[in-house]
Structure 1
């Protein structure tokens, strides 16, 4: 695969991003409590010096849902979770340490990052707070959002050179065949376990550091930010892990 043209939107750095922008593109600040299930997945880059790496969502008091590619360079003890704050990228919020994580056994970064899903297990339970820290609503198996459905994606992006306030942006679900045709044309397959969203004119969507975060439709998480051509490139939607496709795997690994 031609990694020079595609980047994973949650790595520390880019793999040839077409637009080197470090945050949600075309977004606006999220309101406190607007995404109570969203957490910052942070990594220890140097002796208890943590940096935001990816987003994640609260599956239970002990489990976080995120993208597999967010974790491949790290061990469980390198990771902490920050919940309950739109300023989590600055280290404001409730802190929890990871003790383990599970990547999908068939995750393949060489093959369009298929099965890009993972679960982090926490050392201590998250303290849930109504309206501020909550468990994410997930779709039923086979429950797909309609083509054109209004969706929202949120994240902190790379915290190195911008405000650490959580940003959100409104986009739309793309027709699966249309998305498959677009990416097939540049040599990248889009699989049934993936869903695409964006706007045709681009300039709105996710970017590096937003991976692992949620694609939300009607309050339900239908996607996990995974990969794209550049950042909100016109004509190229972002590709998300399709959550309902992995519901059984998620439930089996929340142990």
Structure 2
């Protein structure tokens, strides 16, 4: 994954490379079972910042979806960030982008990705007709927070999906952008193994 020294976070700005608060990363806590060769299963990390962010009108905390809680099929999730506006774009937008996509049926998502092993750590969002997708946003951990890695901006991976006022997942992978055949796949926050990982990371951070 990434080393702490390679990461810089910007929070509280709608413009990709100016404004807001800049803060470094003290520690990266990757899920120990993360497996990029198995469709990025357990694709979740927790970051400890070098200094706390100052909360303001543009920098806020968000509730995490409780362990075991499900997002009903069809509920809209909002994804935000600075990702490509279409699949063929060669540059990223300067201003914050948002898109709303409904929660997909888990069975239909698994059928769409037959042979790709959709696990219980994954959840999907997409319109049945396509046209809107998290490929339109960039790498975030929380709304209005972006990550810069060794002088280049990351693509979608890590971007948040917020439903019913809670962080329910982070963008993980998909085959195509805004293709109705292939929903966007997110790491599922409420999965017990992901929830336990968050708790363990926070415990480890307190001991530093």
Structure 1: give runs of 5+ residues left out of the alignment: 1-71
Q: For the aligned residues, what is the CA RMSD? A: 1.6
Alignment coverage as a number of residue pairs: 179
Structure 2: give runs of 5+ residues left out of the alignment: 139-154
CA contact (8 A) 1:80 1:96 kept: yes
Alpha-carbon distance in 2 for matches of 1:170, 1:124: 32
* 1:103 has 2:33 as partner: no
Cα displacement string for residues 97-151 of structure 1 (whole angstroms, at most 9, x for unaligned residues): 112101100000010110000011111111111x311112111110010011121
2:19 pairs with 84, 89, 92, which one?
A: 92
Alignment match, 2:61: 135
Alpha-carbon distance in 1 for matches of 2:18, 2:172: 24
Alpha-carbon distance in 2 for matches of 1:160, 1:237: 22
TM-score, normalised with respect to structure 2: 0.81
Alignment match, 2:73: 147
Higher RCO, Cα 8 Å, sep 6+: 1
Alignment match, 2:103: 173
Alpha-carbon distance in 2 for matches of 1:248, 1:180: 24
Cα displacement string for residues 185-234 of structure 1 (whole angstroms, at most 9, x for unaligned residues): xx201111110001011120112622211111111111101100121112
Alignment match, 1:119: 46
- CA drift at 1:161: 2.0
* 1:241 has 2:169 as partner: no
Alignment match, 2:143: none
Alignment match, 1:157: 83
CA contact (8 A) 2:82 2:92 kept: no
- CA drift at 1:92: 2.4
CA contact (8 A) 1:84 1:132 kept: yes
* 1:193 has 2:121 as partner: yes
Instruction: Tell me which stretches of 4 or more aligned residues in structure 1 moved more than 6 Å.
Output: none
